[in-house]
């Protein structure tokens, strides 16, 4: 089978490897669609993300959909939860599997991800896809799950004013979810004009270009008559966006940090956050969201297809990564390959 491995910064190589054999509790899956996530781009450009570094040639890809290739469920189309949790630690037992201390994650560390033609995966981490959800849409359930978890952390209520700072794929999905949650006003910011256009289409009432923080902060405060937003979602992975989120959150408001900074460090003006009595919450992947995500897409309540811009075969994955890295060429930096 064809396998794409990352050997170093921007060093992706296509290999021919044996089809894996499913171990006990696993099934063999023929991969049909894999998304390129912002965290994949960190691995591609920087040989790691946060404190995790490339220790061996790694198969990237954790936004996954495929079809079961053996056993009683042969031919069943599935979305694949990339996070394999232990189910036994304190945090799993408390209902927080995203905080599992013994988890493995596809395309991260020593665990190969989905940029290959076949993979074996624990059956309990597979979710059946209805015929109305395409393979590409099935792969997008993972970023939708992250957006759902972020929205959950914000405790949105009907009538709130929401700020979305960063309109990449997760930001666009968060805008749609904020609307579904009853937000009275959604205001979005980004550095890129095409992402602001996408934010409008997703349901944002107002959009402002991000320019190092001060411009959009003033525009947001003016748009809310000086009150600020009830919940500010930082989904840009840029410290300017974190500062903006703190600046525009109302007194007693909430800031949800979902972005992943390249330097593995986040900072903000402490006096502003303290004097406002802000609540800060950080997003750790997703939390038991696949069933909800599937229902939302199946019913047409969320349009995940809107964040898919291109499809490439696995042989052209390097081109896909380069396009996703080039913000001017990539509409939403969400590029997919279709499995054979």
- Across the range 172-187, mean pLDDT stands at 98
- pLDDT reported for residue 329: 39
Distance (Å, whole) CA 74 – CA 61: 23
Instruction: Give the CA dihedral 171, 308, 37, 297, nearest 10 degrees.
Output: 70
Whether pLDDT at 273 is above 60: yes
pLDDT band for position 204 (50/70/90)? very high
Residue 17: helix, strand or coil by DSSP?
coil
Distance separating alpha carbons of residues 324 and 317, to the nearest angstrom: 10
* DSSP code at position 305: G
Residue 99 exposure: Cα atoms within 13 Å on the Cβ side: 11
Whole-model pTM: value is 0.94
CB 67 within 8 A of CB 29: yes
Residue pLDDT, tens place only, 208-258: 999 876 789 999 999 999 999 999 999 999 999 999 999 999 999 999 999
Residue-level pLDDT at 263: 85
DSSP string, 90-115: HHHHTT-GGG-TT-EETTBTTB--S-
Pairing label, strands 310-312, 335-338: parallel
Buried/exposed code over 66-83 (b: 16+ C-beta within 10 A; e: otherwise): bbbbeeeeeebbbbbbbb
pLDDT tens column, 118-156: 999 999 999 999 999 999 999 999 999 999 999 999 999
d(CA 163, CA 248): 8
Residue 327 has pLDDT above 70, yes or no: no
**Mean pLDDT to the nearest integer, 285-300:** 97
> pLDDT: is 248 or 263 the higher one?
248
* Burial class (CB within 10 angstroms; exposed 0-12, middle 13-18, buried 19+) of 94: exposed
Average pLDDT rounded to a whole number, residues 63-83:
97
Q: What is the pLDDT of residue 326?
A: 79
CA separation for the pair 261, 300 (Å, rounded): 32
* pLDDT of amino acid 309: 85
Query: Is 70 exceeded by the pLDDT of residue 334?
Result: no
CA distance 245 to 2: 43
Q: Which two tokens stand for residue 137?
A: 């849409």
Is the pLDDT assigned to residue 335 strictly greater than 70? no
What integer pLDDT is reported at residue 328 of this predicted model?
Answer: 43
Nearest to 111 by CA among 89, 138, 84, 87: 84
Longest dimension (CA), the chain: 62
pLDDT of residue 339: 42
Tell me the pLDDT of the chain averaged across its residues.
Answer: 93
Q: What domains does the chain contain, in order, with CATH numbers?
A: 2-140+308-338 (3.90.180.10), 145-282 (3.40.50.720)
């Amino acid at each position: 089978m064809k396998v794409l491995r990352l050997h170093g910064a921007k060093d992706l190589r296509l290999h021919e490897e044996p089809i894996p054999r499913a171990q006990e509790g696993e099934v063999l899956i023929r991969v049909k669609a894999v998304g390129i996530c912002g965290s994949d781009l960190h691995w591609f450009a920087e040989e790691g993300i946060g404190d995790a570094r490339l220790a061996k040639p790694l198969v990237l890809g954790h936004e996954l959909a495929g079809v079961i290739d053996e056993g009683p469920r042969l031919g069943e189309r599935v979305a694949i939860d990339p996070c394999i949790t232990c189910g036994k630690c304190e945090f799993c037992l408390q209902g927080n599997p995203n905080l599992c201390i013994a988890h493995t994650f596809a395309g991260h560390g020593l665990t190969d991800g989905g940029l290959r033609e076949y993979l074996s995966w624990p059956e309990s981490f597979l979710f059946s896809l209805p015929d109305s959800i395409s393979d590409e849409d099935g792969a997008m359930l993972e970023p939708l799950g992250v957006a759902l978890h972020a929205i959950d952390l914000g405790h949105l209520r009907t009538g709130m004013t929401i700020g979305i700072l960063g309109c990449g794929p997760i930001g666009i999905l968060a805008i749609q979810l904020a609307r579904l949650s009853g937000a009275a006003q959604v205001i979005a910011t980004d550095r890129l004009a095409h992402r602001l256009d996408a934010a409008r289409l997703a349901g944002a009432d107002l959009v402002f270009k991000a320019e190092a923080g001060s411009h959009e902060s003033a525009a947001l405060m003016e748009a809310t008559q000086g009150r600020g937003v009830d919940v500010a979602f930082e989904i840009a992975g840029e410290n300017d966006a974190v500062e903006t989120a703190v600046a525009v959150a109302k007194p007693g408001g909430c800031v949800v940090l979902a972005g992943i900074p390249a330097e593995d460090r986040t900072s903000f003006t402490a006096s502003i956050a303290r004097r406002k009595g802000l609540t800060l919450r950080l997003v750790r992947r997703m939390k038991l969201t696949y069933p909800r995500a599937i229902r939302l897409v199946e019913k047409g309540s969320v349009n995940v297809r809107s964040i898919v811009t291109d499809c490439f075969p696995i042989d052209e994955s390097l081109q896909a990564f380069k396009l996703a890295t080039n913000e001017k060429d990539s509409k939403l930096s969400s590029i997919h390959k279709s499995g054979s």
